[in-house]
Every structure is written in C-alpha cells, then in structure tokens.
Amino acid sequence: MISPISFNGVALNDGFFSSDLRGVFDSDKVLTLNDILGDGQVFGRSKAAERKLVLNITAAAQDLSRIAALNQMMAGNALKMLIIATDIGRLYGYGEVTTFAWASDTPLMQSVQITMPDPHWQALQPDTLSLEPSIANGVIFGDPVRIALDAGGSDNAARTILDADNSDSAARTQLDAGGSN
C-alpha cells in the first residue's frame, strides 16, 4: 500500500484532500554505450533515469483557502519534498512539478506530474546496519605492530618493514643491503 502524506508541506490525505500516487517504484535506466578504447573494447555505463510520478488529488469541498494552498504547492522552479507511507515505512524524495491540470468538469480534482531527478527514496527513520571487517586473503593487525619481511636469511637480503600502527594504510620501509640471495 502506498499513500501520499505530503508534498511541499501540504497534507495530501488529511480528510479534506484525498490523493493517490502512481509510478512510485517504476524505474528506468539510461544506458550509454561507446566504442572509445583503441583496442576495440566497448565502454559502457548506466544510470537510473529520473522518476516520473502522477499525483491525483481530490478536494472534499470548495474551500478556496485550501485550494489556494494547493496551487501554491505547485508554484516555483525548485525541488520539493514528497513524503509517502508504504508497507516498509515512511519514505521521502525530492521532485519538481512538471505539469498540472484541473479536471474540466470540477475544480476539486487535480492531476500533477512530479519529476524526481534523483530517483531514489530515502527513509525518514532508517535502520542502522553494522558490518564486521572481512578479509579474504590477509591479516587483521591489532594495535601497533611491526612486521619484517625479508627475501632470505643472509645480511645481503632485501628487507621490507611494515608498520601497521592504527591507520588504514601501512607505512612501508625498504631496506636493501646490496642484493638478495
């Protein structure tokens, strides 16, 4: 179930206005394919296209101040917040009104097309997710650790010392005693 809550601060399902929203989770992708590499490889990328929503609003009565507030909701060339209620919680996104029209037989029904340039929905109260570190082929070091790697047991061997300390990158020192065995 998808129910619009508000758009640009105007409540959409509050008893006076009732509304429905279409195209909420419809998605489309834009593909760009170019032969740009000299060796014949195909380079390509894709991105999610903007989302087009249709919001149908019906007013319960001819309250001019409420209908005027609805018209103000459409005004301006700016992104406005749209909040919806779904089975997975409240989501919000930002869109701009690209077209709107009143029904020809009554001014109490309006249809609005909203374009969301960023087609993603965000949660108002997101759950946190924590991932533990995972290494496929490596070692996790604790606090200050020094490791000496060498190419052999003689004094002439090249040696590398890794200082793993408390950083994301290790400091590497190359010691070369003139060759290796």
pLDDT, one tens digit per residue, over 24-39 is 998 888 877 766 555 6
The two structure tokens encoding residue 143: 């606090």
- Residue 157 located in a structural domain: no
> What is the C-alpha separation between 156 and 159, in angstroms, rounded?
9
Helix residue ranges per DSSP H, the chain: 64-74
Question: What pLDDT shows up at residue 68?
Answer: 85
Residues of the chain with pLDDT under 50: 179-181
Contact 173, 158 (CB under 8 A): no
Q: Which domain holds residue 109?
A: 3-30+42-121
Domain count across the chain? 1
Give the dihedral of Cα atoms 77, 78, 79, 80; nearest 10 deg: -90
Contact 146, 162 (CB under 8 A): yes
- Residue 21 located in a structural domain: yes
Question: What pLDDT shows up at residue 180?
Answer: 43
Contact 58, 92 (CB under 8 A): no
Classify residue 111 by its DSSP letter. Answer: E
- Residue 66 located in a structural domain: yes
- Residue 164 located in a structural domain: no
The two structure tokens encoding residue 11: 């409540």
Question: What pLDDT shows up at residue 114?
Answer: 94
CA distances for 77 relative to 21, 65, 95, 163, angstroms: 21, 22, 10, 55
Question: What pLDDT shows up at residue 124?
Answer: 77
- Residue 68 located in a structural domain: yes
- Residue 140 located in a structural domain: no
Radius of gyration, CA atoms only, the chain = 30
- Residue 54 located in a structural domain: yes
Helix, strand or coil for residue 172? strand
pTM: 0.62
- Residue 143 located in a structural domain: no
CATH number for the domain including 106? Answer: 2.40.30.200
